[in-house]
Amino acid sequence: MALLIIDTEACTGCGACVDVCPFGALEIIEGVAVVNENCTACGACISVCPVEALSLPEAEEKPVTEDLESYQGVWVWVEQFQGKAASISWEMMGQGRRLADELGTTLTACVLGEKMDRVAHEAIAYGADRVFVADDPTLRVYRTEPYARILVELVRQYKPEIFLLGASSRGRDLAGAVATLLYTGLTADCTGLEIDPETRLLLQTRPAYGGNIMATILTPNHRPQMATVRHRVFEVPEPDFERQGQIVSVPVVLSEDEIASKVVDFIVEEGEVNIADAKIIVAGGRGVGGPEGFEPLRELAQVLGGAVGASRAAVDAGWIPYAHQVGQTGRTVRPDLYIACGISGAIQHRAGMSTSRVIVAINKDPDAPIFDIATYGVVGDLFQIVPALTEQFRKKLKR
Amino acid sequence: MHAIVCIKSVPDTTEVRFDPETNTLIRDEVESIINPFDTYAIEEALRLKEAHGGKVTVLSMGPPKAEKELKEAIAMGCDEAVLLSAREFAGADTWATSYTLAQAIQKVGDYDIILCGKQAMDGDTGQVGPGIANQLGLPQLTYVFKIREIDFTERVIEVERLLEEGREVVRSRLPAVLTVVKDINQPRYPTFRGIRRARRMQIPVWAPADLEGADPRYFGLSGSPTKVVKIFTPPKREGKVEMIEGETPEEIADILSDKLIESKVI
Amino acid sequence: MDFSFTEEHEMVRKMVREFAEREIAPTIKEHDRNQTFDETLLPKMAEQGLLGICIPVKYGGAGMDYISLGIACEELERVDTSARVILSVHVALNSLALLQWGTEEQKQKYLVPQALGERIATFGLTEPNAGSDVASIQTTARRDGDSYILNGEKMWISLADVADNFLIFAYTDKSKRHRGMSAFIVEREFPGVETGTIHGKMGVRAGNTGYISLQDVRVPAENLLGQEGEGFKIAMSALDNGRYTVAWGAVGLIRACLEASVRYANERYTFGVPIGQHQLVQQMIAKMAQRLDAGQLLCLKAGWMKNQGLRNTRETSMAKWYCCDAAFESASDAVQIHGAYGYSDEYDVERYLRNSKGAVIYEGSREIHTILQAQYALGYRQDKPLRCELPAYDQEEWEAEE
């Protein structure tokens, strides 16, 4: 089943490909590389082969976007909820600006909603040269169909080379629809964006397998090059409200009658957690011992104005709802401060929080892997340390 | 009622180990499993079948050994299964995967609802669900937390979607493509009756020739707009942990709180 | 020759593993510490079909083979011995004895509800003064018209306080020694049946173990299993099935020890390296792996013979003897690898060690099996065909609805 083509004449059996293969799909047998069915055609080995013995089949008639060169400019979709722009979008604007400058091109923001004047002006302050504004009651609340259709029409008309969206629920929902309709490449949940100086292509880097490996992905023959970008990986740039930019009003594509989906309600539960946006997270794992063990963590989180997170072990044991779960099967978070209490730090958990700015680990076991990624570590009983910490912050922060 | 569930066979990440020397995935003994998020899609489809009658078809694209995961879905109670497996399908990115699955869904035909997990554990992209919806021109309802109401005669559905700020209630028409989150249900165990049925079942394997009307240029590697150019190990986190020590918990808390206030994260 | 599990066996393993991890593992430590039996477990096992796993579908079972029964035992005991014990007494010692020796009426009346899990069953052979020395049981059954009157006391009975149906062994004619023993199906509702729980066990503390007291219990004659005087043979054939499940369970316990030890050996550092790099730790882990493989092969052989309908008393005894000793040694090593942590209940290995000891004593002590194997090897002992053998597994017949 493996697609990889190995030129056995050229292969010297050096084993460079074996070392880089993330899937253990290559081995050297009798002096030449041999591929097995673990191969995913990821291409990681091709660039390391010193004798160019490896390749993937090139289709003769590979479908491509026509007229690639005519695609110019960097675009960012500005997500709004209840008329307010999401901070993730300003993070995208910061990156969009950087990429546009590197390419010597312009940055365009796409603002969709109702009464979007203020957001449109903010977009300029955050770096846009041009803002497309679709302002209509049908766009007040985000819905996939009307949003996707407008963006698709705009792309077809104005042909951007790069289109960035935040990897929020809405961003992922929208990007998936737009990329499919446009038949272009979309790289989800990127943590790195660079321009290849030679080809001017966007190098999109994203974690896979819960952050254990990183992949750099290109969209060489399709435009725009689309990416969603993970929240809180990039800084929100300083807005400059003196900046000048062009605001272009664009029409809606679908009328209300033509939209199948209606948003009928929005439920925000009492005590609903949004750990993805929290700046401070106090998280508990197996070491908290039971549902009541989260109480001291809640108190600390309250004093710090943070949220309570949990490891999968604590959630699976039923001590705390899933909404609190951090990690590969839960939420990925990147707070300024992550306090891990009684969390051993399994790789799946670390995948969801290891990019936090400051990590504090409190654990009884001095060998717990969580200490490997912590900024500060405390070996001790969380039921003593956490309340003491709460008390100290109460005093020092006067809360 | 006919529900189609799309599932993916992924390595069991709870068992995935990395070679600390080379930092590559040790795959030798890693079992493949149904992508955990997809098991919630299967469960939701089975609940719809129990409530409304009808059948559940499960679909997967992958290597021949992915038959095992389809059989597991049968053992859980799904009625039919199809495996899309061919050399031409290999190397597909999310666009080509969605295209191929959408073509297969059309061939299966006569569906009322399509269910997927919110994302795969290995790729984490969450794009195939929206991809299928837009290939088929159907409404997409992502991150579904709860099906509030579903009426296969009136062809309407009302769901709660789990978003960052809370839960959005959306009404849409059927058929639609749903991607579901973990909170939606608790997947059932396979049953012995299901296991016996799975053993007897021959799962059909479809290749490009079985997807009449599809454009083979859009399959697999050739149909994929994205291309992986490099795979590498993430850089190790800089610096070493600073251990805070003290005679009493109060002393430790005192030192630690000072350091955190100084570092301006609070 | 084929050493691979079938696709079906793999699915059974996965299902039972998930079940055990989701339904038993989260609360087992608490039940073990408090010596409480998880009352919610039996209905869940019943719903999942585990309580009739290898019973034909027409008798309310799940229609799987004897190896599936073994795999289920392995996976349950991988989490806790108490859960495997349920299958040993309910399925192997009681229900399979009904399948093997029962009349069609007895199967309809007792086996069907047991396989469905509507009635829980156990096995009453051991007494305060009769364990390995079965012939010295004191319970008697006196014929009285259309009934038997049972008197006596049974001890160390798993699920004594939980079960609805008991398979009770009693002398109908003590003068005939082995040939004077008979087996009776006794319902909890029969007047004169009383049960109680024994606390203070070293291990299997989450399991229910107790006594059954029989005082002038009137049992209808149609509840005699087999013929009068066949009790000893029924008991021994039931033990061939019970021991088989105990052996498989011990394999699961070894697996749990190996998994815990490997995890810990990779996590724990001493002298600057993970302890897995110390050769003496490696030796303990290597031995666990060896015992796991060897034990499983012995169990598989016994299971294959059961599926084929071959007499397997010798092979089952060998598997039970080896696996239970191996489990005890593995658990002891697992505690050793965990050091002081292993000695506390913060880790599961101390529970594995306490749990592993029981099986070296019950269902044929280590000594009994040693002697049995010596007798087979020396030619002092041969198994004679039974009037009723455990039926060979026939997939079509087991899966037939009628």
**Residue A311 contacts by C-beta under 8 Å, 6 or more apart in sequence?**
A283, A284, A285, A286, A325, A326, A327, A343, A346, A349
Which chain B residues have a beta carbon less than 8 Å from that of A336?
Answer: 265
CA distance C390 to C307: 9
More confident residue, A65 or A110: A110
C11 — contact with chain B (CB < 8 Å)?
A: yes
Decide whether C122-229 matches C233-398 in CATH topology: no
For B264, name the nearest residue in chain A, comparing CA atoms only.
Answer: A336
CB pairs below 8 Å between B and C: how many?
A: 40
Query: C101, C225 in Cβ contact below 8 A?
Result: yes
The owner of tokens 């990127």 is: A190
Which of A56, A377, A384 has its CB closest to that of B221?
A56
What CA–CA distances, in Å, run from B4 to A78, A125, B175, B219? 34, 47, 11, 21
On whether residue B162 sits in a domain, the answer given is: yes
Instruction: Answer whether residue C171 shows pLDDT above 90.
Output: yes
Q: Check: CATH 1.20.140.10 for C233-398? A: yes
Chain A: closest CA distance from residue C37 (Å): 19
Closest CA to A285 of A352, A362, A354, A371: A362
Q: In whole numbers, what is the pLDDT of chain C averaged over residues?
A: 96
Picking from A150-164, A208-222, B234-248, C78-92, which range would have the lowest pLDDT averaged per residue? B234-248
Q: Tell me the average pLDDT across B19-41.
A: 73
Q: How far apart are the first and last CA of chain B?
A: 54
Contact B90 A1 (CB under 8 A): yes
Asked whether residue B91 is assigned to any structural domain, the reply reads: yes
Are the CB atoms for A89 and A108 separated by under 8 Å?
Answer: no
Number of CB pairs < 8 Å for A and B? 311
Q: Could you give the 3-state DSSP secondary structure of residue C364? A: coil
Instruction: State how far residue B75 is from chain A, nearest Cα, in angstroms.
Output: 24
Say yes or no for a CB contact (<8 Å) between A264 and B171: yes
Copy the structure tokens of residue B209: 């020739």
Q: How deeply is C239 buried, as exposed, middle or buried, from its count of CB atoms within 10 A (0-12, 13-18, 19+)? A: buried
> What span, in angstroms and rounded, lies between the C-alpha atoms of B242 and A361?
10
pLDDT for position B236: 63
Nearest CA in chain A to B173: A260
Q: What are phi and psi of C232, to 5 degrees?
A: -65, -45
C28-64 pLDDT, tens per residue?
999 999 999 999 999 999 999 999 999 999 999 999 9
Decide if pLDDT at B19 tops 70. no
Q: What single-letter amino acid sits at B89?
A: F
Give residue A382's pLDDT band: very low, low, confident or very high (50, 70, 90): very high
Residues of chain B contacting residue A391, judged by C-beta atoms under 8 Å apart: 250, 253
pLDDT higher than threshold 70 for residue A187: yes
Which residue, C136, C9, C139, C13, is CA-closest to C78? Answer: C13
- Residue A93 CA to residue A74 CA, distance in Å, equals 10
The interface predicted TM-score of the complex, written ipTM, equals: 0.90
The CA distance from C303 to C11, in Å, is 18
Domain assignment present for residue B197? The answer is: yes
**Full 3-state SS string of A59-112:** CCCCCCCCCHHHCCCEEEEECEECCEECHHHHHHHHHHHHHHHHHCCCEEEEEE
The class that CATH gives domain C122-229 is mainly beta
Q: Residue C53's closest CA among C303, C296, C253?
A: C303
Confidence grade of residue B17 (pLDDT, cut at 50, 70, 90): low
Which CATH number applies to C7-120: 3.60.21.10, 3.40.50.720, 1.10.4030.10, 1.10.540.10? 1.10.540.10
Average pLDDT rounded to a whole number, residues C90-94: 98
pLDDT given for residue A16 in this prediction: 86
Tell me whether residue B235 is in a domain.
no
Cα–Cα distances (Å) from A182 to A49, A179, A222, A364, C380, in that order, read 34, 5, 9, 53, 83
Domain-embedded: residue B264: no
CB contacts of C12 in chain B (<8 Å) are 192, 195
**What pLDDT shows up at residue B14?**
61
Query: Is pLDDT above 60 for B24?
Result: no
The total number of structural domains in chain B stands at 1
Q: What is the pLDDT of residues B39-71, one digit of tens each?
A: 999 999 999 999 999 999 999 999 898 999 999
Q: What is the DSSP string of A122-143?
A: HHHHTT-SEEEEEE-GGGSS--
Write the CB contacts of B220 (distance below 8 Å, at least 6 apart in sequence). Answer: A3, B87, B88, B89, B90, B91, B92, B96, B100
CB contact under 8 A, B192 and C49: yes
Residues in chain C with CB shorter than 8 Å from the CB of A318 are 26
All residues at 6 or more sequence positions from A260 whose CB lies less than 8 Å from its CB, including other chains: A145, B139, B172, B173
pLDDT at B81: 98
**Contact B242/A376 with Cβ under 8 angstroms?**
yes
pLDDT at residue B264, rounded to an integer: 83
pLDDT of residue B25: 55
Q: C267 falls in which pLDDT band (50, 70, 90)?
A: confident
Residue type, A381: D
State residue B13's pLDDT score.
65
φ/ψ (deg, to 5) at C327: -70, -40
**Is A246 touching B (CB cutoff 8 A)?**
no
Cα gap B122→A18, rounded to integer Å: 21
pLDDT at B116 over 90: yes
- β-pairing, C193-197 vs C209-220, is antiparallel
Condensed to tens digits (0 to 9), the pLDDT of residues A131-148 reads: 999 999 999 999 999 999
* Residue C325 CA: distances (Å) to CA of A47, B93, C254, C315, C328: 55, 53, 10, 16, 5
Q: Is the pLDDT of residue B16 over 60?
A: no
CATH code of B90's domain:
3.40.50.620
Among A317, A318, A367, whose Cβ lies nearest the Cβ of C269? A367
Give me the residue from A219, A380, A392 closest to B257, CB to CB.
Answer: A392
**Domain extent at residue B15:** 2-223
Residues A335 and B115: their CA atoms lie apart, in Å, by: 33
| Average pLDDT rounded to a whole number, residues B200-211 | 96
Q: Is the pLDDT of residue A311 over 60?
A: yes
Q: Which residue numbers of C are catalytic?
A: 363
Q: Give the residue, A54 or B17, on which the prediction is more confident.
A: A54
Q: How far is CA A208 from the centre of its chain?
A: 11
Across the interface, whether the CB atoms of B24 and A24 are under 8 A apart is answered: yes
Domains and CATH numbers, chain A: 5-55 (3.30.70.20), 68-255 (3.40.50.620), 280-397 (3.40.50.1220)
Q: Check CB contact under 8 Å for C269 and A369.
A: no
With CA atoms as reference, the chain B residue closest to A42 would be B228
Does any domain span residue B62? Answer: yes
Q: What's the distance, Cα to Cα, between the start and end of chain C in Å? A: 33
Bridge partners (DSSP) listed for residue B180: B117, B144
Q: Write the residue in B71, B192, B193 that is nearest to C7 by C-beta.
A: B71
Contact across the interface for A20 and B231, Cβ inside 8 Å: yes
Q: Per-domain residue ranges for chain C?
A: 7-120, 122-229, 233-398
- For residue B198, the chain C residues in CB contact (below 8 A) are 7-8, 11
Instruction: Determine which of A211-220, A307-316, C187-196, C296-305 has the lowest per-residue pLDDT on average.
Output: A211-220
pLDDT at B18: 54
Minimum mean pLDDT among A349-353, B175-179, B188-192, C99-103: which range?
Answer: A349-353
Nearest to B244 among A21, A269, A376 (CB): A376
**Confidence band (pLDDT; 50, 70, 90) for B29?**
low
Which one of B22, B83, B121, B266 would you mutate to disrupt binding with A, by most A Cβ within 10 Å of its Cβ? B266
Residue A272 above 70 pLDDT?
Answer: no
| Chain A environment of C269 (Cβ under 8 Å) | 367
- The distance in angstroms from the start CA to the end CA of chain A is 63
Given pLDDT bands bounded at 50, 70 and 90, which one contains residue A64? confident
| Neighbors of chain B with 3 or more C-beta pairs under 8 Å | A, C
**pLDDT value of position A348:** 78
Higher-confidence residue of B110 and B17: namely: B110
**Structural contact between residues A313 and A325, judged by C-beta atoms closer than 8 angstroms:** no
Q: Please work out, in degrees rounded to the nearest 5, the angle formed at the alpha carbon of residue C151 by the alpha carbons of C150 and C155.
A: 115
